[in-house]
Structure 1
Amino acid sequence: MRKTLHSVVEIPIAEGPLGASIPFLFLRDGEVSIFALAWSRHHTLYEFTSPAEISAIIQAIGLFYDFYYLVEKGRPVSAEDLGRVLARFMEAREHGTAELRWDAVQRKTAIDDVRRISAFGEFCANNFGHVPLNQRETKFVEDLNFSDQRRFYSALERRKEWDKLAHLVSSSQAGRGKVSRAQFAPKLRRVKASYERKTFPPDKVLSLINATPSVRDRLYLILLFFGGLRSSEPLHLFVTDITVDPSGTAVVTLGHPETGSYEWTNLHRGKQHGNRTTFLAERYSLGPRNKLGKKHPRRAGWKGMAYDRDSRRESYVNWLVPEMGRYFARLHFQYIHETRKHVRDEHPYYFVNEKDDASFGNPLTLSNTAKMFDRAARRLGLEPDEEGVNRHGGRHFYGHFCASHLRLPLEVTQTIMHHASILSTKIYYALDQAVARDELKKGFARIQSELPSFCADMERISFSGHTQ
């Protein structure tokens, strides 16, 4: 067990979205860290930082507190030496330390903790007159390495695209070739991008869905594997987000849980138009699930996407095969009549708890879906620790199917997976080696018909070793 002097407790607050909470950092004497509380409140109300990131910020501050008092012995530290303390803290995070019983973490995690602590120190310096934990220094661009120089000039160039006052940059510090940098700024080691296969075993997908006895769970799994949704996204769906078109295919609308447009009827004011945050607050006195505290059981994250209807902040599920859209529609009618219609009007969420006890009808949680998925996988002889055998493996299957079976171009796959960047799509666009070899054969056959003389010359080279 990790050795520590602090604890973090999430406490509900009245400010901000309904149901929101703030992580409180309690120090070794039981006193609340007022500075950490002010920092987390600032992020909650003004920076619109996600609850998960706010929690990570406070956890990082707590770890640094432990390191300072248990390793550095709480000794007075000069402003010049603070950067070296941060460096030793990062070393302890990255490589672990027996003194605090810390396990080693990835370098990126350690750097992120240093970044969070540095930002906290800067906040305290600006608002409370403290000495910054990570001193900043001014450097000339010419003194930076080539990579940093290139990033600097690229940022200046991009600024012209969005900043209407970009013409004034020349009179600023940046325009004069000066940059402000933290004294301790560790670099992340660059590693070659790897797009290794992480998909759920393709030949087991239909078996997984069919082996699941619950209609609700089959609906959820279809959205992951044949709709390409992330594990948390279905938990934001309202009952009204699922309709069926005249062809018998389900139409699933995925709106942003906070700002997605929504229409509803108020008993006193008639038809209302607003966003989902307003609807949840007015009708149910609830807040969006992505704004709940990190440890709240009903929390469901939201990563964001490129929207099909940007003005309404909503997208549609694109079915890999039409048959699955029609199968989903049939299961939807069954689920509504057998389960969902018996739920009291206490929330609008589509997926609910099916247990025959006091929890029946409560919104389905991420924890519920994880346990359900693991049980279904084990029915097929798969273990959750195997590569791809997890809920996100369904989204990887979606990208694999687009590439290897539908043979869709990368750009088309980007659109239907709602990625803002094509680089994100590449992670999922897994082309099977057999498909790649097949495409190569087709390409060579096409060349043989279009360029016969070229192919004849190639054959002569292969047999004689030289051209005539």
Structure 2
Amino acid sequence: MLSFDGAHIVIHLAIEAPDAKTLPVLVELDERGLPTMSLSVAMYARYLQREGARSYETLRKYVTAIGKLKDYYTLVCGSKPIEAREIGRLLEDFLHAYDHGTVLGWAPSSQNEYVLCRSAVVEYVKFVMDNGDAIWPTREIRFIEDCRVSWSGSQHAEKSLLFHTKKRLRKKTGGRKKALTGLRQYKPFPQKYLQLLLDETKNPRDRLLFSTLAFGGRRISEVLNAFTHDVFTDKEMLHFVLAHPVQSLMEWTNLSGATLRGTRKEYLKKQFGLLPRTDHGAERSALGWKGIKFDDEAALKSETYFIRNADKELVPLYREYLHEVRQRLPRRPHPYYWVNEDGEPLTLKAAAKQFDLARKRVEKKFGVSLKGYGLHSLRHYYGFYCVDVLKADLLMVQKWMGHAQISSTAVYAHISPETARDELAAAEGRKAVGAQAQGVLPSALQRHGTTALGDIDTKRLTRKMR
């Protein structure tokens, strides 16, 4: 698998490792014009992968950023001899060029892109400096040495390499501002078309999956990581447990009948010889996992909270999928709940394809346009339904959706145009009722006469005085 960016190529190399299946590596051209893998970048990427502190996608972006540094070194600085003072400014000049897009047709980078590129370059240089005893290929020795000189030659190097970020963060210095092209909003799947989408989804597996996303409010990656024992019924109610795909604790029985305890990663390795899907790298079976707020932080598990009575309504569909559909499929050595037609774990691409097919059937049958809605719009539907329709407290919605930060939940507090119109009509109605109630009193006064009312009040006051 390849990804092209500039003059270099990032290849996802299949590897045999206990913790990964692929590794992003940088391929460049040597003096003879032949493609050659960068050993230093490969060692750096593998080091980060073993550390496990960054996702595979972040590793790919790191390798791409170092590829841009090598492009700058080769194509911009390599056409003429590099003076000592220019070598000293190599890293800062590169970051400035990457930030502002001044060379090689680069577009100006965003704040996040710049910070990621700077982190990749700084950590790469530190890595090669810490591995000074490594034997690098001849073609990389000069580049690595110039990076070392540039780092060492900068006074307070790490602080110096932050100057672009600092300039951006000073709001009054006239820094570059991102042009606004419209109000950024989360796009929930339209409520009036949701049931039509489910009706046009004939496969019980897909209908159950889409319903779980829409009425359970979880991310597709969280749902597809589920094991078979995570989904069950109790007292005619559907339960869907979310657990961390790597670190969550569990208990199981092995082939010899012994009861074992450990993490899900250990369970997959000992029982099936598999890695968690978060460690599949660039393979199609790979899944991500975004940090969530668990109900049980010790076991790293959480319940799924269904809306619209879905925990009861989905029980027949759950049984149809588990006892009829899955029984006809080939059995494979894995514990995953959602599977393809071949019995292998359901991939994100396959789920998205089935959603697009159902969406297009709704468009064709009812003459509407649902372009731009994806699987994640079902989760947004859940969030807006809880806030916009149920008027639920944001702290409760945060728990239901598993947001680690309340700021992520706050985006659903956006008032929809429909709700704004309904609230305005209700306010007008209350005003009309209030005005009518005020109008009753004057008409009654006119019938009884002000003098009579005054006499009544006088007599009442006289009795109170006595």
Structures share a fold, TM > 0.5? Answer: yes
Please name the residue that 1:82 is paired with.
91
1:411 to 385, 391, 395: 395
Structure 2 residue 252 is matched with structure 1 residue 264:
yes
Determine the C-alpha separation between the residues in 1 that align with 2:149 and 2:347: 41
Name 2:316's counterpart in structure 1.
Answer: 330
Distance 1:91 1:344, change over 3 A: same
Q: Residues 20 and 302 (structure 1 numbering): CA distance in 2 closer, same or farther, change over 3 Å?
A: same
Q: What residue is the counterpart of 2:131 in the other structure?
A: 127
Report SS of the residue matched to 2:75: helix
The amino acid across from 1:42 in the alignment is Y
Is 2:26 the counterpart of 1:25? yes
Deviation at 1:237, TM superposition (A): 0.8
Q: Is the 8 A contact 1:125 1:132 kept in 2?
A: no
CA distance in 1, matches of 2:300, 2:4: 43
1:269 shift after superposition: 4.6
Tell me which of 191, 196, 199 is aligned to 1:207. Answer: 196
8 Å contact from structure 1 (residues 340, 350) kept in 2: no
Q: Which of 321, 325, 331 is the matching residue for 1:339?
A: 325
Change in 2 beyond 3 A, CA 1:47/1:368: closer
- How far, CA to CA, are the matches of 1:201 and 1:348 in structure 2? 34
1:52 aligns with 2:26: no
Q: Residue type of the partner of 1:362?
A: E
1:161 aligns with none
Q: Distance in 1 between matches of 2:361 and 2:110?
A: 33
**Higher helix proportion, which one?**
2
| 1:195–1:427 CA contact under 8 A, matched in 2 | no
Aligned match for 2:348, one of 351, 359, 366: 366
Distance 1:407 1:370 in 2: 30
Q: Alignment partner for residue 252 of structure 1, among 236, 240, 248?
A: 240
Q: Tell me if 1:317 matches 2:318.
A: no
CA gap of 1:404–1:279, structure 2 versus 1, over 3 A, is same
- Specify the SS of the correspondent of 1:27: strand
* 1:229 aligns to 2:218 (yes or no): yes
Q: Structure 2 CA distance, aligned partners of 1:123 and 1:184?
A: 22
**Cα offset, 1:32, TM superposition:** 2.3
User: How far 1:385 sits from its partner (Å)?
Assistant: 4.4
Does the aligned pair in 2 maintain the 1:26–1:32 contact within 8 Å? yes
1:62-104 deviations in Å (ceiling 9; x for gaps): 2332233234445434112431232113333xx8x7x55x567
The verdict on how the C-alpha distance between 1:74 and 1:249 changes in structure 2, with shifts beyond 3 A counting, is farther
Once residues 385 and 441 of structure 1 are traced to their aligned partners in structure 2, the CA distance between those partners, rounded to angstroms, is 31
The corresponding residue for 2:14 is 12
C-alpha distance in structure 2 between counterparts of 1:201 and 1:133, whole Å: 55
Q: Is 1:428 the equivalent of 2:412?
A: yes
**2:242–2:304 contact (8 Å) kept in structure 1:** yes
Contact in 1 for aligned 2:269/2:275 (Cα 8 Å): yes
Q: Aligned partners of 1:344, 1:264: CA distance in 2, in Å?
A: 20
Per-residue CA distance 1:179-198 (angstroms, 9 max, x = gap)? 94525433366779966241
CA contact (8 A) 1:374 1:384 kept: no
- Closer, same or farther in 2 for the Cα pair 1:2/1:20, shift >3 Å? closer
CA distance in 2, matches of 1:120, 1:111: 14
Contact kept, 8 Å, 1:195 with 1:430, in 2: the verdict is no
> Does the C-alpha gap of structure 1 residues 282 and 81 become closer, same or farther in structure 2, counting only changes over 3 Å?
closer
* Whole-angstrom CA distance in 1 between matches of 2:79 and 2:323: 63
Shift of 1:339: 2.2
Q: In the alignment, which residue of structure 2 is the partner of 1:66? A: 71
Deviation per CA, 1:270-326, whole angstroms, max 9, x where unpaired? Answer: 222211101111111110101111x2110011002000111110111110122x122
Alignment TM-score, normalising by the size of structure 2: 0.76
Post-superposition shift, 1:37?
Answer: 1.6
Q: 1:384 to 1:118 in 2, by over 3 A?
A: farther
> Is residue 37 from structure 1 mapped to residue 64 from structure 2 by the alignment?
no
Q: Which runs of 5+ in 1 are unaligned?
A: 140-178, 355-359, 454-468
SS at match of 1:20: strand
Matched with 2:161 is: 182
- CA separation in 2, counterparts of 1:297 and 1:315? 27
Answer whether contact 1:12 1:22 (CA < 8 A) is retained: yes
Q: Distance in 2 between matches of 1:340 and 1:331?
A: 12
Once the two structures are overlaid, the 10-residue window that deviates more, 129-138 or 368-377, is 129-138
| Matching residue's letter, 2:128 | C
**Offset from partner CA, 1:380-432 (integer Å, 9 cap, x none):** 2166643xx11111111111100111110111111111111100111234432
Displacement of 1:440 after TM fit?
A: 7.1
Range moving further from structure 2, 331-340 or 281-290 = 331-340
Tell me how far apart the structure 2 counterparts of residues 4 and 276 of structure 1 sit (CA, whole Å). Answer: 40
In the alignment, which residue of structure 1 is the partner of 2:442?
A: none
Task: Supply the AA of the counterpart residue of 1:369.
Answer: A
Gaps of 5+ in 2: 133-144, 170-175, 439-466
- How many positions carry a matched residue from both structures? 395
Q: Is the 8 A contact 1:377 1:383 kept in 2?
A: no
Question: 1:220/1:132 Cα in 2 relative to 1: closer, same or farther (>3 Å)?
Answer: farther
CA distance 1:315–1:443, change in 2 (3 Å): farther
The alpha-carbon distance between structure 1 residues 15 and 3, as it changes in their structure 2 partners (threshold 3 A), is closer
Displacement of 1:364 = 0.8
Distance 2:131 2:403 in 1: 38
Give the number of the structure whose alpha-carbon radius of gyration is greater. 2
Q: What is the distance in 2 between the residues matched to 1:327 and 1:334?
A: 13
Which residue is equivalent to 2:464?
none
Q: Distance in 1 between matches of 2:317 and 2:348?
A: 21
Instruction: Please report the RMSD computed on the Cα atoms of aligned residues, expressed in angstroms.
Output: 3.2
Contact 2:98 2:109 (C-alpha < 8 Å) held by counterparts: no
Query: Residues of 2 paired with 1:63 and 1:10: CA distance?
Result: 17
How far is 1:442 from its partner?
Answer: 7.1
Deviation, structure 1 residue 261? 1.6
Contact persistence 2:398–2:406 (CA under 8 A):
yes
- State percent identity of aligned pairs: 28
